[in-house]
Amino acid sequence: MSEHQLDKQETRIFSGRSHPALARQIADYLGVPLEKTHSRHFTNDCMEVHLGASVRSRTVLIVQSLVKPVSEHLVELLLMLDIARSAGARAVHAIIPYYAYARSDKKDAPRISITARLVADLLSTAGATHVMTMTLHAPQVHGFFSVPTDVLTARTEFARLFSERDLKKTVVVAPDVGHAKSAARFARMLSLPVVAADKERVSDTEVLISGLFGRQVRGFRQALVYDDEISTGSSVVEVCKELARNGIDKIIPICTHGVFSGRAFERLGAIPQIPELVTTDTVPQRPSRCPVALTIVPVAPLFGKALWLNFTRQSIGGLYVYGQDAPA
């Protein structure tokens, strides 16, 4: 049992349908039962949600990862937030381990929506008084939220995992310059050097890697490719192929959000230098689908501890994603 327990009478935890296992783990960590949530569709396909316990004058936690089907799970989350607010909850916390729309962070084509900002507005409009998530795709997305928002990191847990391994002749690799700072923080925790690839995205499933490595990886035998998310795997696959061409014998991709859509597992498994993938469970994982070893780092303790620190009016700086001096 965790030492970070919340008051069972004052706290209610509910889960949407996207990741009930993670919601239960967070509830268990905090010593609070996971209450029932009832969802159904009417014949016209409209959704109805019913929270199975009174929330009046209580603190409400709603756990929902924005995984496929993303739009369905988003609407369910918005309904749950609205229900809690309308039923008189004292505070409503949206716990979103994977905020999928963080990738829609800028207007890079005419007549498109900056959807990360739109969804942030919808969350506060629906009733969220606080948002907690993990490792946004771009730092500026944090500024899209109009309610207090905490962005956690699994970096410390990844570093703890690899600190117990042989890291001789190992280099940390960022798949693009945009994630070089995050990779550098991870590398610093393990006292390893770091390099960044030069990536140009052609489409959602195709990238070009140019000007990569050469002398930068000469003499290294192992590479830890550190990214925030692997979806189709296009970026990581091209980086790993380039690393292999430059003499790296062992490559381990690491990501916070293991979406692994389409042929991602197949494409990564086809690279013989990759013996293992490392990710968290912000997205539900099915290890049986992965052709190589899949190491899953649990995030429930991170969310549980951050929530407990928040409720007991303590700093969560040590769990915060962008802090330069924080241990995580």
Q: For residue 189, what are the contacts with CB-CB under 8 A and spacing of at least 6?
A: 155, 156, 159, 327
- Residue 22, domain member (yes or no): yes
- Whether 160 and 284 map to the same domain: the answer is yes
- Whether 117 and 165 map to the same domain: the answer is no
Q: Which residues are catalytic?
A: 199
What is the per-residue pLDDT for 204? 54
Q: Cα separations (Å) of 169 from 192, 217, 223, 247?
A: 9, 10, 9, 12
What is the per-residue pLDDT for 322? 56
Residue 123 — very low, low, confident or very high, per pLDDT cuts 50/70/90?
very high
Residue 325 — very low, low, confident or very high, per pLDDT cuts 50/70/90?
very low
Least confident of 72-76, 189-193, 233-237, 315-319: 315-319
Mean pLDDT of the chain, nearest integer: 91
Cα dihedral sign for 185, 187, 191, 195?
negative
Does the structure show a pLDDT above 90 at 40? yes
- Whether 210 and 115 map to the same domain: the answer is no
Yes or no: say if 179 and 168 are a contact pair by the CB < 8 Å rule: no
- Whether 106 and 161 map to the same domain: the answer is no
What is the per-residue pLDDT for 184? 93
- Whether 200 and 311 map to the same domain: the answer is no
Strand pairing category for 206-210 and 198-203: antiparallel
Within 10 angstroms of residue 76's Cβ, the number of other Cβ atoms is 20
Can you tell me the distance from the alpha carbon of 190 to that of 160, in angstroms, rounded to the nearest whole number?
Answer: 9
Strand pairing category for 170-174 and 59-63: unpaired
Can you tell me the distance from the alpha carbon of 255 to that of 139, in angstroms, rounded to the nearest whole number?
Answer: 16
Q: For residue 207, what are the contacts with CB-CB under 8 A and spacing of at least 6?
A: 199, 200, 201, 234, 235, 238
- Whether 142 and 184 map to the same domain: the answer is no
Does the structure show a pLDDT above 70 at 327? no
Domain that holds residue 219: 155-297
- Count the domains in the chain: 2
**Residue 151 phi, psi (nearest 5):** -110, 110
- Whether 130 and 167 map to the same domain: the answer is no
What are 239's two structure tokens?
Answer: 């980086």
The strand ranges marked E within 147-236 are 149-152, 170-174, 194-196, 198-203, 206-210, 222-230
| CATH number for the domain that contains residue 148 | 3.40.50.2020
* Residue of higher predicted confidence among 258 and 209: 258
pLDDT single digits (tens) 152-167: 999 999 999 999 999 9
Does the structure show a pLDDT above 90 at 210? no
Does the structure show a pLDDT above 70 at 219? yes
What is the per-residue pLDDT for 256? 97
- Whether 193 and 270 map to the same domain: the answer is yes
What's the mean pLDDT in 93-115? Answer: 94
Residue 100 — very low, low, confident or very high, per pLDDT cuts 50/70/90?
very high
* Residue whose pair of structure tokens reads 């006292």 in the numeric block: 191
Does the structure show a pLDDT above 80 at 218? yes
- Whether 124 and 160 map to the same domain: the answer is no
**What percent of the chain shows pLDDT beyond 90?**
80
- Residue 326, domain member (yes or no): no
What's the mean pLDDT in 1-6? Answer: 84
- Whether 304 and 292 map to the same domain: the answer is no
Cα dihedral sign for 197, 243, 104, 315?
negative
What is the per-residue pLDDT for 126? 98
What does the radius of gyration of the chain's CA atoms come to, in whole angstroms?
Answer: 20
What's the mean pLDDT in 33-46? Answer: 97
Can you tell me the distance from the alpha carbon of 279 to that of 296, in angstroms, rounded to the nearest whole number?
Answer: 5
Q: Starting at the earlier edge strand, list the strands of the sheet with 149-152.
A: 11-15, 59-63, 91-96, 130-134, 149-152
What is the per-residue pLDDT for 178? 77
* Residue 95 DSSP label: E
